[in-house]
Structure 1
């Protein structure tokens, strides 16, 4: 199935603040999926332009860029994205009005809205977006939903169908392999979005210890919490239960933030050197130094199914070929004369 110009409806989530580097995005797009950069939340058009230009040097395939609507979208950043005519703008955690969607369409840019509830999905459809990503509570990083994907996804599918909307729906949250891909298709999605699985690739600039912790994590080794990064964005998120997290998660007062906490490391995000206080929400990238093991390590529940660091292209290939094999196996067990054909065309 083609998806907004990509060969496969396999999306790499915008990973903040800078883990969605051009090398990762291009690798996913070159493999037939669609990679997404993550725009800085600040007014940094210089960085946005560099990210887009560098990605274009690495791929001629479709790719996009994501913004978090919890922070005011700088008008200059929005205009630059439209001027650069990336394939798609990914918006998350807030309302993106029909007027903005129309501006994107006039510039030839598609809009993908990630949602965490049925109401959000309906509002996004009403605004005229081109695709909707449904995020379940199993997702890593900042999590909008409070409902498991197994329930939320079909609820969104049913709600949009009942109102006459025919918008591609992409499933996100806990999906790391072909089995999750096929399950999402069976629930009514037309594609899947992966974040955690793409962090555990050589192209991603996440810190090596962060990737190691992912490979070592078991299926119950993540927690839905709100203790990291409260000063900037008090929003629920899912992290790996590292020894630090288990020992120290209750030290922060319920109304407290990382302000005043000791500095445990340093990092460079894009071109700026920054301190990393204890309980900061800054995820460790390849430049990070200090007590990296005590920093936030975002991951979805599917991390327990990740056992090795593999290239992004191998992730995409494994999803496609694995899904096709599973569907064929299922077809030999049950009568899927129509549904089996439909699923096969999706992958």
Structure 2
């Protein structure tokens, strides 16, 4: 049963583009096959050949449409060119201006564009640019957080701003289960975007230690401790691990550039050193002091009790929300 579909997908569920390469082809294809919108994450540097390979590998695992997330704060012109040449269904953009020129370029390639915003002003600019949908991120979200308002305050204002225009509003931030889905619908959203819940799936490329910590730990904190040099001015929400608890008051002048190497990882095809306080989450290939690395998570992390197949996550969200709404009636 198609229910609350958005952007041409069966269901109003979006799997956020999890970086640096946590949402790889296996996860995105599993989400797509379940009828939801799965998003790859483009590398944070120009890597058009590798990105094309990711897209094409995903297509070997699903015949359903899917998308790619692109962080505009990093070099991206060559990556964007590949995304449009490959004609993925949706381009999700974040942390940068979603201009009318960009929207026109994307639409000319037959691709839909959906920015993630953290304020009413950014939503207004996106509407004026002619976007196909808007992901509204609340401060409750895990990973890098662009806004300061809570989801419960921000979503209704953006919904009112959109009015009768055919632009679905998608709520993101702290949502992990059917109760959060229904709450977002009550705020006026037409869909939801989940990140942390999809990190904790069998198909995600997150390291098993990262997944285990999502089950063990309940507390998260909004901070700027990780990745200050690489991505300045980009606060984030992380799990309160013992390491973070010890370093949560890191002096403002400190960053990862002069810190020791604590591990190594293969990220988007490249071998990388991971320094202490780098903003790199551990993926399956990561070695070293895993528990001292960043572990992004939204405030709903405490509700995640098991690692599930991505399709089961989608199914439980849809069926659970249907049941809740029927009981409310």
Q: Does 1:245 align with 2:244?
A: yes
Q: Larger Cα Rg: Structure 1 or Structure 2? A: 1
Quote the residue 2:59 is aligned against: 56
Deviations 1:234-254 (A, max 9, x none): 21000000000001222x321
Number of residue pairs matched by the alignment: 325
CA distance in 2, matches of 1:316, 1:172: 15
Residues 43 and 268 of structure 2 are in contact (CA less than 8 Å); yes or no, is this contact kept in structure 1? no
Deviations 1:102-147 (A, max 9, x none): 1111111000110000000010010000000000000000001111
Quote the residue 2:167 is aligned against: 167
Stretches of 4+ aligned residues off by more than 6 angstroms: none
Deviation at residue 71 of structure 1 after TM alignment = 1.7
Q: Does 1:37 align with 2:61?
A: no
CA distance in 2, matches of 1:73, 1:44: 9
Deviations 1:138-196 (A, max 9, x none): 000000111110001011111222xx533110000000000000000010000000000
Q: Does 1:96 align with 2:98?
A: yes
Residue of structure 2 aligned with 1:304, choices 302, 305, 309: 302
Residues 118 and 136 of structure 2 are in contact (CA less than 8 Å); yes or no, is this contact kept in structure 1? yes
Residues 176 and 302 of structure 1 are in contact (CA less than 8 Å); yes or no, is this contact kept in structure 2? yes
Q: Alignment RMSD, CA only? A: 1.0
The secondary structure found in structure 2 opposite 1:247 is helix
Quote the residue 1:325 is aligned against: 323
Unaligned runs of 5+ residues in structure 2 are none
Quote the residue 1:179 is aligned against: 179
The secondary structure found in structure 2 opposite 1:62 is coil
Deviation at residue 255 of structure 1 after TM alignment = 2.0
CA distance in 2, matches of 1:217, 1:256: 26
Quote the residue 1:2 is aligned against: 5
CA distance in 1, matches of 2:109, 2:220: 40
Q: How does 1:246-325 map to 2 (within 5 A)?
A: 246-250=245-249, 252-325=250-323
Quote the residue 2:231 is aligned against: 233
Residue of structure 2 aligned with 1:155, choices 157, 163, 175: 157
Q: TM-score, normalised by structure 1?
A: 0.92
